[in-house]
Amino acid sequence: MNETAEPTARARVLFVDDEPRVLTTMRMLFRNRYELHFSESGAKALDFLRSTPVDVIVSDQRMPGMTGIELLRAARELNPDAMRILLTGYSDLNAIIGSINEGEIFRFVNKPWSNEDLTQTVARAVTAARASADATRAGDTTPTSLGAEPGILVVDDDPRVPAQIQSILGDAIRVLSATSMDDAVSTLERERIGVVVSDTRVQDQAVIGLISTLKQHHPELVSVILTERADAGTAIDLINQGQIYRFITKPLHESQCKITVSSALRQHQRLSQAPQLLQRYEVVAAPEPAPASTTGRLMDRIRSLRSVVKRLM
């Protein structure tokens, strides 16, 4: 099941796929880079993880007996510091949302993949896993109070949504609202925000650019996406380019909303206090808008938020 070289120096990477030819390709592609381990099923992979921690798990989604998402969900419990990468060759929105909410996927990689992209993705995942493990050993990952709680920014062109979320969360948490991306950036410029809760489109504009730029330049901010009709491609872009924390489905369910947003606030505190963990949430750079465009000007304002965020903390 494994191929080992310099185990104390090299990162351990586990590849899981029911197709032997894919595992053979992975062996050839990553030979001499890492300590490689292979499994042809999710069940066998979990058996291996019960005794051997790894840095990165790369799993196919469509496998008999146990899907990749089911595997990565269970692997998260066994090996929480490991970075999780999902190979997917088909579009299944429910599966993708499940993997974000339950498996915390670092990247989706479409099949067939580019060898260069895959090797770079695994290398980034290894770096993030090592940083995360160092933070865990140092005891820096348990959030503590930072004083006044940061606010929740709800970005939605339906003005009823922020009021509904405020009602669900109660008065102890500040909920601010924005009905456009310009309003959202203005709020971020003047308020201390820890979590952005946003629909996938606001005023008929996709929010992926906003979410991606926020994560690139202010990785301690945590994003939660509201959705009732997102497509698989949008969901994949939101995780690869924005490292969104969770999806919440519309219409809002009270318990799901409360649990998710409260968890997102704790995640913001955790990332603010343990900067080593930020590498776990590194994003793929989104295409740059034209500097003179409205979107380009908004992105420039987001990039300049750093001094404002520090002053408000």
pLDDT for 78 equals 94
For residues 137 and 302, what is the distance between their CA atoms, to the nearest angstrom? 33
The C-alpha angle with vertex 163 and arms to 144 and 309, in degrees rounded to 5, equals 40
The three state secondary structure string of 236-263 is HHHHHHHCCCEEEECCCCHHHHHHHHHH
**Tens place of pLDDT per residue across the chain (313 aa):** 554 444 346 899 999 999 999 999 999 999 999 999 999 999 999 999 999 999 999 999 989 999 999 999 999 999 988 999 999 876 666 777 777 787 788 999 988 899 999 999 999 999 999 888 877 776 655 555 545 689 999 999 999 999 999 999 999 999 999 999 999 999 999 999 999 999 999 998 889 988 998 988 888 999 999 988 767 788 888 989 999 999 998 999 999 999 999 999 999 998 888 888 888 888 876 666 555 566 667 778 887 775 444 444 4
Rounded-to-5 percentages of helix, strand, coil across the chain? 50, 20, 35
Domains (range + CATH), the chain: 2-138 (3.40.50.2300), 151-312 (3.40.50.2300)
Cβ pair 209, 234 in contact under 8 A: no
pLDDT for 266 equals 92
Antiparallel, parallel or unpaired: β 193-199 and 107-110: unpaired
For residues 180 and 200, what is the distance between their CA atoms, to the nearest angstrom? 12
Q: Which residues have C-beta within 8 Å of that of residue 111, sequence separation ≥ 6?
A: 60, 87, 88, 89
pLDDT for 287 equals 63
For residues 291 and 163, what is the distance between their CA atoms, to the nearest angstrom? 35
- 244: β partners: none
pLDDT for 145 equals 53
Nearest to 196 by CA among 246, 258, 144: 246
At 179, phi and psi to the nearest 5? -105, 5
pTM of the model: 0.83
For residues 193 and 178, what is the distance between their CA atoms, to the nearest angstrom? 13
pLDDT for 170 equals 94
What are the C-alpha distances in Å from 138 to residues 11, 141, 142, 276, 281? Answer: 19, 8, 11, 11, 19
For residues 246 and 234, what is the distance between their CA atoms, to the nearest angstrom? 14
